[in-house]
Amino acid sequence: MRFDDISQAVGNTPLVGLPRLSPPGYELYLKLEGHNPTGSVKDRVAKYLIEAGESSGELRPGGRVLEPTSGNTGIGLAAICRVKGYPLTCVMPENTSEERKQILELFGVDIVHSPASEGSNGSVRVAREMADADPDVYMPFQYGNVANALAHYETTAPEIIADLPDVAAFVAGLGTGGTVTGAGRRLKRWDPAIKVFAAEPEYGDLVYGLRNLDEGYVPEVLDPSVLDSRIKVNSLDALEWTRRLAQEEGIFAGVSTGAALVVAARVCSRLPEGAKVVALSPDGGWKYLSTGAYAPGDVAEIAERISGTLWA
């Protein structure tokens, strides 16, 4: 595969069977989005967000891009913005892993920190305040931009359908809601019988701790009607499956992948015998090494220790 530049090399990721982790009588497959140019599913979204701004005229040559992101979207945007010549500012929770900060700085991104206790909601709040104060910046806003879900509708799902036309169920993590909404919609257009499940990370007390219940945030991208169910996954289960994935299938993935696999294995019993289930792996494990998620030791202790930063 030859491409003119990095922005063209997004997508067409491998769909890999997991024969050793599949429940008896079912076939689990994992879509390895870590194989995208900057190592995550967000490369698809970043490309669509920037192109949407260019098409609408909100983003003009040399214009500044501003986005609240806990990391992967920022890294994807950073690469695209670099080759297209747009300066980029990312607002992210201060507990985001060190690897992500260093990658963003390498790409020349300006980083603004929001309080760890406010999680992603805090990044959204701070970015909105900054965007309101500066009419010249383009804030793609992945939580509310239809281009986010469209990226999955036009690229992620068609790739799955091409590789596994008889897919029975699709599982992806719930962040902005873009993956489950966009890919789910396209999959159901292909075959209305396909089930779509969201794996929702159960955050640690650090994230929930100081929250005011009136401050909840509804991502406009998420269409709850596409989902057949929404299942939360705790840090320990997600971490155990992420480690088993490495140990039994030879795949080194981020912890959100383990969460998607927990749900994929759980929903098999609701599907006909022989059903094929696709889980989406948003990224590899590299950017989370410093969290200690993969270190030797008692998995329950590790999960407890890192539950506040695991999903950041």
Partner 1 sequence: MATVRIPTVLRKRTGGDAKVEAEGATVGEVLSNVVAQHPTIDDSLFEDGKLRGFINVYVDDEDVRYLDGLDSKVDPDGEVAIMPAVAGGAQRSEHAPRHLSAGGAGA
Residues that bind partner 1 (CB under 8 A): 119-121, 123-124, 143, 174-177, 200-203, 205, 207-219, 222, 224-225, 227-233
229 as an active site residue: the answer is: no
Are 253 and 241 within 8 A, CB to CB?
A: no
188 as an active site residue: the answer is: no
Whichever of 74 and 177 has its CB closer to partner 1, that residue is 177
Convert 240-285 into a string of H (helix), E (strand) and C (coil).
Answer: HHHHHHHHHHCCCECHHHHHHHHHHHHHHHHCCCCCEEEEEECEEC
In angstroms, give the least distance from the CB of 227 to partner 1.
Answer: 7
Residues whose CB is less than 8 angstroms from the CB of residue 103 and which lie 6 or more positions away in sequence, other chains included: 38, 75, 78, 287
**Set 114, 120, 256, 307: catalytic member:** 256
In angstroms, give the least distance from the CB of 170 to partner 1.
Answer: 15
**Set 7, 22, 40, 42: catalytic member:** 42
Whichever of 47 and 195 has its CB closer to partner 1, that residue is 195
Q: How many CA atoms are closer than 13 Å to the CA of 221, on its beta-carbon side?
A: 27
29 strand-pairing partners: 17, 278
Among residues 236, 234, 249, which one has the least CA distance to residue 281? 249
Are 217 and 127 within 8 A, CB to CB?
A: no
Whichever of 3 and 208 has its CB closer to partner 1, that residue is 208
Whichever of 64 and 266 has its CB closer to partner 1, that residue is 266
In angstroms, give the least distance from the CB of 215 to partner 1.
Answer: 7
In angstroms, give the least distance from the CB of 126 to partner 1.
Answer: 13
Whichever of 61 and 216 has its CB closer to partner 1, that residue is 216
In angstroms, give the least distance from the CB of 83 to partner 1.
Answer: 28
Alpha helices in the chain (DSSP H): 42-56, 72-84, 98-106, 119-133, 146-151, 157-163, 178-190, 205-208, 235-249, 255-267, 299-306
Residue positions annotated with a catalytic role:
42, 256
